[in-house]
């Protein structure tokens, strides 16, 4: 441990607090908006503490099943969960063997393959959306989960492959050869050795994948048009698109939409701590 002076400690802590405030303020304001009445939100100047607090917005989103806002919100939640989880699971199950082979198996052409994959990941969505749209249309996949899952996998596979490959690269090659001698085949090596050691990276990749799929707006907006396939970002935008935007309702939906990814991050945080490698090969 490096000893820090009192002043240094104070600087470190005040910077951390400042950062926390900057990050949390919008969330806090979102929450305040979600429990305020429309009247409070339209009177100027705005106040931090609303005159009366009510959870009606939440009730109309998840409590009252007959309202249209609840219907569109709950369906969108379902769609988002299906799309995000399927896209993540699918892209990880492709990315793991791909990353392993890019990291471990010989052959010069492999690395250019990764480069091409990364290049497609770099392309802006607007460049791809038209051909994708007509392809989906002719396949009859518009307004389905499959369309979004396929598009998201196209984005997520290169990204997660690259993330996992750079982590596999850090695992010493001896840890592949030792199990080989012990009688393992490639799949067993990946399953028993590589993946457990790369667990933090795996957790990070899964989290990033879920977040990207969860937050994606552009493709979701264009490829879906009703509650059968609309995801949360699109549904929330719909709340704002009516004649009068109900800011309270939008905020409540926003708060609710953050709960699944935040809780996932919370449960994954234990596996995200690194330091698993210590003691394996000579220190």
Partner 1 sequence: MTALSLKNINKSFGDIRVIQNINLDIKPGEFVVFVGPSGCGKSTLLRMIAGLEDISSGEFWIGDRRADQLPASERDIAMVFQSYALYPHMTLAENIGFPLRLAKLPKDQINNKVQEIASILQLEHLLDRKPGQISGGQRQRVAIGRSLARDPKVILLDEPLSNLDAALRLEMRIELAKLHKQLEATMIYVTHDQVEAMTLADRIVILNNGEIAQIGSPLELYQTPINTFVAEFIGSPKMNLFPASVNEKKSQKKSIQIIGSNDEFAVDTNQHPPQELQTGNQIQVGIRPEHLVPSDTGKIKGTVTSTEQLGSDTYIYFDSDTIKQAVARINGVASIRPGENICFAVAHEHYHLFTSKGNRIKPTVL
List residues near partner 1 by CB under 8 A. 172, 174-175, 177-185, 188, 192-193, 196-197, 199, 276-283
| Residue with Cβ nearer partner 1 (112 or 278) | 278
Helix H or strand E encompassing 17 = helix 6-35
In whole angstroms, the minimum distance from the beta carbon of 197 to partner 1 comes to 6
Q: Is 8 buried (19+), middle (13-18) or exposed (0-12) by CB count in 10 A?
A: exposed
51 versus 281: smaller Cβ distance to partner 1: 281
- The per-residue b/e assignment along 161-198, b for 16 or more CB within 10 angstroms, e otherwise, is bbbbbebbeebeeeebeebeeeebebeebbeebbbebb
Beta carbon of residue 278, minimum distance to partner 1 (angstroms, whole number): 4
Q: Which tokens in the block code for residue 194?
A: 């590589």
Closer residue to partner 1 in complex, CB, 13/192: 192
The CB-of-198 to partner 1 minimum distance in angstroms stands at 10
Nearer to partner 1, 113 or 175 (CB): 175
CB of 186 to partner 1, least distance (A): 10
Q: Decide: 243 and 149 in contact? Cβ < 8 Å.
A: no
With H, G, I as helix, E, B as strand and everything else as coil, classify residue 171: coil
Q: Which is nearer to partner 1, 55 or 192 (by Cβ)?
A: 192
Beta carbon of residue 24, minimum distance to partner 1 (angstroms, whole number): 35
- CB closer to partner 1 out of 49 and 181: 181
Decide: 88 and 210 in contact? Cβ < 8 Å.
yes
Which CB, 64 or 177, lies closer to partner 1?
177
- Please give the full DSSP string across 51-111, using - where no structure is assigned: SS---HHHIIIII-TTSHHHHHHHHHHHHHHHHHHHHHHHHHHHHHHHHHHHHHS--SHHH
Q: Where are the alpha helices (DSSP H) in 105-185?
A: 109-122, 125-139, 145-169, 174-182
Q: Cα–Cα distance between 152 and 215 in angstroms, integer?
A: 11
CA distance 207 to 201: 10
Q: Tell me how far, at minimum, the Cβ of 108 lies from partner 1, in Å.
A: 12
CA–CA dist 237, 221 (Å, integer) = 9
Smallest gap, in angstroms, from Cβ of residue 275 to partner 1?
8
């Amino acid at each position: 441990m490096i000893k820090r002076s009192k002043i240094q400690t104070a600087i470190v802590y005040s910077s951390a607090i400042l950062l926390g405030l900057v990050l949390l303020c919008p969330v806090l304001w979102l929450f305040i908006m979600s429990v305020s009445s429309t009247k409070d939100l339209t009177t100027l100047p705005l106040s931090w503490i609303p005159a009366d607090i009510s959870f009606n917005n939440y009730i109309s989103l998840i409590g009252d099943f007959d309202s249209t806002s609840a219907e569109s919100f709950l369906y969108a939640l379902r769609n988002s969960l299906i799309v995000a989880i399927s896209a993540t699971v699918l892209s990880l199950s492709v990315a793991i063997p791909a990353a392993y082979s890019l990291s471990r198996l010989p052959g010069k052409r492999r690395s250019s393959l990764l480069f091409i994959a990364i290049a497609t990941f770099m392309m802006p969505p607007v460049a791809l959306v038209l051909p994708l749209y007509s392809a989906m249309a002719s396949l009859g996949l518009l307004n389905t989960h499959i369309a979004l899952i396929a598009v998201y996998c196209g984005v997520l596979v290169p990204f997660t492959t690259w993330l996992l490959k750079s982590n596999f690269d850090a695992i010493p090659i001896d840890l592949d050869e030792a199990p080989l001698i012990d009688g393992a085949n490639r799949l067993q090596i990946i399953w028993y050795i590589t993946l457990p050691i790369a667990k933090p990276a795996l957790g990070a990749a899964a989290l990033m994948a879920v977040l990207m799929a969860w937050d994606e707006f552009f493709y979701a907006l264009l490829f879906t048009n009703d509650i059968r396939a609309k995801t949360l970002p699109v549904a929330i935008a719909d709340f704002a698109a009516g004649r009068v935007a109900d800011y309270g309702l939008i905020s409540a939906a926003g708060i609710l939409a953050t709960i699944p990814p935040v809780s996932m991050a919370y449960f994954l945080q234990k596996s995200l701590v690194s330091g698993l490698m210590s003691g394996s090969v000579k220190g």
